[in-house]
Structure 1
Amino acid sequence: MTSKNDEESPASTLPRRQLGRFLREEREKNGLTIDAAARLVDLSKSALQRLESGRNQRIRKQDIRALCEMYEVDAVDTAQAVELAEQAKAKSWYHAFGGLFSDEFNMYIGLEASARRLIVYHEQVPGLLQTRDYARALISAFYVNSSFDDIERRVELRMKRQIIVTRKSDPLILEVLLHESALHRLIGNRKIMSVQLRHLAEISKLPNVTIRVSPYAAGMTWGILHGQFVILGFDGDAPTRSAEPPIVFLEGGPSSDVYLEKAAEVRRYDDLAAAIRATALGENETRDLLRRAAKEYEREH
């Protein structure tokens, strides 16, 4: 039975935001201004601006199809864009989209690239900080039936994503709370682990990157096994535009990924991150631990 609160809850902004990013990227690939694109599909400039900014709450599927046709988007991604338009009507406060998007049209990658700040809790090295060999070992283990070329394409995509952390202009502000188990869980081989841990120690020196290990000695935060999560924070993309609301991403692994938008849920994960942070090692202690663990992998046995 639908409650009154459910009926009054606003439609989710997440599908609209992802659809807007996709449409803007496709327009820019085609070298079109908003004015030109709007004229070609018989839309007003303001309507297309609202679509691209994720602020248009009344999205017509025929407009999405017309834009995709003009931008020469293939049939698969056009269908996914239309599905996003349909999802934009939903009044749910979370979305499980697993498998809906191709790598090029991935919900999380689009959000990550648009974020200003990330707080990550993980029990393996997160993708933005993985070395190529570490990434390849993980991807190969998950996509066991994929071809060599497909694996390499996925590895390359992961490496390209990392530019948002290392770029000189306006890099992502990244805080990683890494469980100590990530240092001891063998991924690939001992050399891969050694190189990966030394890479973490070095990249943590960047002013926009904070890495702190949550040690075994800290026990279980809140007395539960809460699993990995990412809190994505956004700024406005123009001086006069307010920031997009934050989102929590819960990676589904073999099942669906989940995105939480409800303010109370996001605050809950902010509180959880603060509790983990309170018992984590300091940055210098973390660097020392990473180097010691790397040295252990380098010893011959």
Structure 2
Amino acid sequence: MSAKNPTTIPRRQLGRQLREMRQGAGLSIADAARLIERGAGTLQRLEKGENPRIRLLDIEALCRLYDASAEKVEALKALAREGDERARPVDERVWWHRFDDLIPDDFETYMSLEAAAAQVIMYQPDVVPGIIQTADYARALERVFFDSDSPMDLEQRIQVRMQRQTAITRRLAPVDVDLLVDESVIRRVAGNGKVMAAQLRKLADTPPNVRVRVLPFNAGFPLGCAPGPFVMLRFPIDSNTKEPVEPTTVYVESYGSRLYYDRTDIVDRYVAAHEQLGCVALSETDSKYLLRQVAKEFEA
């Protein structure tokens, strides 16, 4: 990634959306650029998230060309404003948004990044991550968090959660997952003992592309602090450039906010943290044994 013109999360998300819309319209980059009277190189940089100067007029013209809905137009313009470096310090590489901000729910920034990733590296200190939850475990959590949902709405949320998991089970290029979970994850009850037993057995019986290790209580605090949950997303290598199609991105979610980082020094810090935690975690074999033992305890 060029230090002079780094790619940011909003620009990458904007570019991905525009590329999918163009492909859905059956247009080449050259055709789309010609129809909005812009250069093909300009549109290509926009789709790759490499253009630090984004014209809202271009976004509006492309949306008209692709017959986008009014809601999608506003969502893309919001991303364009976030991604335009003229609106913020040039060295700022963090994109923050709250649950109720400009980006509509159906934009699902993290889910699109996760689906596009080649590898997902996770640390979870308190809950099984959604990409590997059972339906009953997810239902036990969502029923409390979305306590005003109708039964139908709740089930739709569960279906979305289950759909995410196709990323690790698909036949073509399934996502590689490296998951570290704290021992508290496997002992804190969601739902009841039956729900927990099934969830732990799922963690113990993952496909070969999913590596699960448990950080035991007796490991103490390997980092000297509690880092909180985090996810690192690594992307496929471009066959022409031999570089990742997008820079490694760190995703941090708390109770009321989501943070995305792709600045190299911040990413490196999380890489080092994951390595330190991994050094004191149980092996995959020992983790599977512990998961099955605790599942038996819940069943009893």
Deviates more, 1:170-179 or 1:137-146: 137-146
Instruction: Return the alpha-carbon distance in structure 2 between the equivalents of residues 280 and 135 of structure 1.
Output: 25
Q: Do 1:120 and 1:231's aligned partners in 2 also have CA atoms closer than 8 Å? A: yes
2:196 partner amino acid: M
Number of the residue aligned with 1:4:
none
Picking from 11, 14, 37, the partner of 1:16 is 11
Picking from 176, 180, 196, the partner of 1:173 is 176
Q: CA deviation at 1:272?
A: 0.7
2:53 partner amino acid: R
Deviates more, 1:127-136 or 1:63-72: 63-72
Q: CA deviation at 1:241?
A: 5.7
> Unaligned regions of 5+ residues in structure 2, if any?
none
Instruction: Return the alpha-carbon distance in structure 1 between the equivalents of residues 129 and 152 of structure 2.
Output: 23
Picking from 250, 264, 283, the partner of 1:248 is 250
Instruction: Return the alpha-carbon distance in structure 2 between the equivalents of residues 238 and 153 of structure 1.
Output: 38
The one-character-per-residue Cα deviations of 1:36-78 (angstroms, maximum 9, x if unpaired) are 3333333333222221111222211111122223323322332
Q: Do 1:98 and 1:252's aligned partners in 2 also have CA atoms closer than 8 Å? A: no
Deviates more, 1:134-143 or 1:217-226: 134-143
Instruction: Return the alpha-carbon distance in structure 1 between the equivalents of residues 130 and 25 of structure 2.
Output: 30
1:228 partner amino acid: P
Number of the residue aligned with 2:58:
63
Q: Do 2:180 and 2:213's aligned partners in 1 also have CA atoms closer than 8 Å? A: yes
Instruction: Return the alpha-carbon distance in structure 2 between the equivalents of residues 21 and 145 of structure 1.
Output: 34
Q: Do 2:97 and 2:258's aligned partners in 1 also have CA atoms closer than 8 Å? A: yes
> Unaligned regions of 5+ residues in structure 1, if any?
1-7
1:109 matched to 2:104 = no
Q: Do 2:193 and 2:298's aligned partners in 1 also have CA atoms closer than 8 Å? A: yes
Deviates more, 1:212-221 or 1:104-113: 104-113
Describe the SS at the equivalent of 2:68.
coil
Picking from 48, 55, 67, the partner of 1:72 is 67
Number of the residue aligned with 1:279:
280
Instruction: Return the alpha-carbon distance in structure 2 between the equivalents of residues 36 and 9 of structure 1.
Output: 29
Q: CA RMSD in A?
A: 1.9
1:70 partner amino acid: L
Number of the residue aligned with 2:123:
121
Instruction: Return the alpha-carbon distance in structure 2 between the equivalents of residues 132 and 234 of structure 1.
Output: 28
Number of the residue aligned with 1:94:
94
Describe the SS at the equivalent of 1:63.
helix
Equivalent runs, 1:19-38 vs 2, <5 Å: 19-38=14-33
Q: CA deviation at 1:236?
A: 3.5
Q: CA deviation at 1:229?
A: 0.4
Number of the residue aligned with 1:212:
213
Q: CA deviation at 1:151?
A: 2.1
1:233 partner amino acid: R
The one-character-per-residue Cα deviations of 1:7-57 (angstroms, maximum 9, x if unpaired) are x98565221111011111222333333333333333333222221111222
Instruction: Return the alpha-carbon distance in structure 1 between the equivalents of residues 74 and 186 of structure 2.
Output: 42
Q: 1:149 to 1:9 in 2, by over 3 A?
A: farther
1:46 matched to 2:52 = no
Instruction: Return the alpha-carbon distance in structure 2 between the equivalents of residues 30 and 94 of structure 1.
Output: 32
Instruction: Return the alpha-carbon distance in structure 1 between the equivalents of residues 184 and 23 of structure 2.
Output: 43
Q: 1:159 to 1:32 in 2, by over 3 A?
A: farther
Q: How many corresponding residue pairs?
A: 289
Number of the residue aligned with 1:3:
none
1:196 matched to 2:199 = yes
Q: Do 2:128 and 2:185's aligned partners in 1 also have CA atoms closer than 8 Å? A: yes
Q: Do 1:115 and 1:234's aligned partners in 2 also have CA atoms closer than 8 Å? A: yes
| Percentage of matched positions with identical amino acids | 41
Structure 1 segments, 4+ long, off by >4 Å, are: 8-12
Q: Do 2:5 and 2:50's aligned partners in 1 also have CA atoms closer than 8 Å? A: no
Instruction: Return the alpha-carbon distance in structure 2 between the equivalents of residues 28 and 154 of structure 1.
Output: 28
Q: 1:148 to 1:33 in 2, by over 3 A?
A: farther
Q: 1:238 to 1:37 in 2, by over 3 A?
A: farther
Instruction: Return the alpha-carbon distance in structure 1 between the equivalents of residues 104 and 152 of structure 2.
Output: 16
Instruction: Return the alpha-carbon distance in structure 2 between the equivalents of residues 81 and 114 of structure 1.
Output: 19
